[in-house]
């Protein structure tokens, strides 16, 4: 399981709602002028998105704004018709999710994509299993003890409390399953983790625990991109907010400078910062 080294000092927070040339903080992930068309439907019409190191940035927009399509492009699940994607300032091509994963970009999907019959450690290493050293490894024998030990360490670092790490994840609570999915992504991500509606259908206590995990991920220096319809929660968790409307980015805010009314106004077109022509 890859080691992740957080910056010795926290990165400065990203610029305010209108970035200035004086800012010295370079984006860790950026998409510019991305277009995606399905038949006669323009899902993205020149969409842009920017994520900076060590932040929680929320991507919001009404249904049909293009959030899911944009995230798919930035995580390798969708190939845009045109546009540019850069990781740490370098143009990249992401033809599939493994290509994004190789660059340190992971995704926690809303359905979690967990193998419910397997335990937490097996899910962390799903598709990336460790083999026993020597002849046994060459014969394909899994090193289950090593995987359990490393998974337990990953859970511990994120404050994920599983009373019995050996039980199938299907028997865990919704919040615990979400935490396992996040821990799996963070175990392999070195730059960015996308989280799609991570607290949907969770109770208050479970939601609070997942929010704490998200903050721990950010504090490790990994950027979290939060996709959510819960505006109060977005304002609680996010450092910055980017707004999509009709396939374009129309506004960017610092979370501590705006309220729910400002976000709704941007989502509905009553307030536009960027050119949407």
Question: What CATH number did the domain enclosing 75 receive?
Answer: 3.40.50.300
DSSP lists the bridge partners of residue 84 as: 32
- How much is the average pLDDT of 152-168? 81
Query: Percent of the chain, pLDDT > 90?
Result: 50
Q: Look at residue 12 and tell me whether its pLDDT is greater than 80.
A: no
Please identify, among 137, 162, 188, the residue that sits at the C-terminal boundary of a domain: 188
157's tokens: 């670092």
Q: What is the mean pLDDT of the chain?
A: 85
pLDDT at position 80, please?
96
182 in the same domain as 50: no
Please identify, among 143, 173, 188, the residue that sits at the C-terminal boundary of a domain: 188
227 in the same domain as 174: no
Q: What total number of domains does the chain contain? A: 2
Q: Contact 252/273 with Cβ under 8 angstroms?
A: yes
d(CA 218, CA 174): 22
In a domain, 276, yes or no: yes
Contacts of 156 (CB under 8 A, 6+ apart): none
In a domain, 4, yes or no: no
More confident position, 151 or 193: 193
- In this prediction the pTM is 0.82
d(CA 277, CA 255): 26
Contacts of 42 (CB under 8 A, 6+ apart): 35, 36, 247
- How much is the average pLDDT of 56-81? 95
Q: Which domain holds residue 77?
A: 26-104+190-277
pLDDT at position 53, please?
95
pLDDT at position 19, please?
41
pLDDT at position 275, please?
57
Half-sphere exposure of 273 (CA within 13 A, CB side): 18
Q: Look at residue 143 and tell me whether its pLDDT is greater than 70.
A: yes
76 in the same domain as 86: yes
At residue 199 the predicted structure's pLDDT band, cuts being 50, 70 and 90, is: confident
At residue 112 the predicted structure's pLDDT band, cuts being 50, 70 and 90, is: confident
- How much is the average pLDDT of 10-15? 36
pLDDT at position 23, please?
39
Please identify, among 188, 220, 236, the residue that sits at the C-terminal boundary of a domain: 188
Q: Look at residue 276 and tell me whether its pLDDT is greater than 70.
A: no
């Amino acid at each position: 399981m890859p080691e992740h080294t957080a910056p010795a000092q926290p990165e400065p927070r990203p610029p305010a709602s209108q970035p200035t040339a004086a800012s010295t903080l370079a984006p860790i992930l950026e998409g510019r002028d991305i277009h995606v068309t399905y038949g006669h439907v323009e899902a993205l019409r020149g969409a842009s998105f920017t994520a900076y190191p060590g932040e929680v940035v929320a991507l919001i927009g009404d249904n049909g704004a293009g959030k899911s399509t944009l995230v798919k492009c930035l995580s390798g699940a969708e190939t845009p018709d045109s546009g540019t994607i850069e990781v740490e300032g370098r143009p990249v091509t992401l033809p599939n999710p493994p290509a994004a994963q190789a660059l340190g970009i992971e995704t926690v999907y809303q359905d979690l994509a967990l193998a419910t019959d397997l335990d937490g450690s097996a899910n962390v290493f799903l598709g990336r299993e460790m083999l026993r050293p020597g002849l046994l490894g060459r014969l394909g024998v899994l090193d289950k003890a090593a995987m359990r030990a490393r998974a337990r360490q990953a859970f511990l670092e994120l404050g994920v409390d599983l009373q019995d790490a050996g039980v199938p994840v299907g028997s865990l609570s919704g919040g615990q399953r979400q935490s396992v999915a996040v821990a799996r992504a963070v175990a392999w991500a070195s730059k960015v983790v996308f989280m799609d509606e991570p607290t949907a259908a969770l109770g208050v206590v479970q939601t609070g625990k997942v929010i704490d995990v998200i903050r721990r991920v950010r504090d490790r220096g990994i950027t979290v991109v939060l996709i959510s319809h819960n505006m109060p929660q977005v304002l609680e968790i996010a450092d910055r907010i980017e707004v999509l409307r009709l396939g374009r980015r129309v506004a960017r805010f610092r979370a501590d400078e705006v309220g729910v009314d400002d976000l709704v106004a941007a989502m509905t077109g009553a307030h536009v910062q960027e050119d949407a022509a």
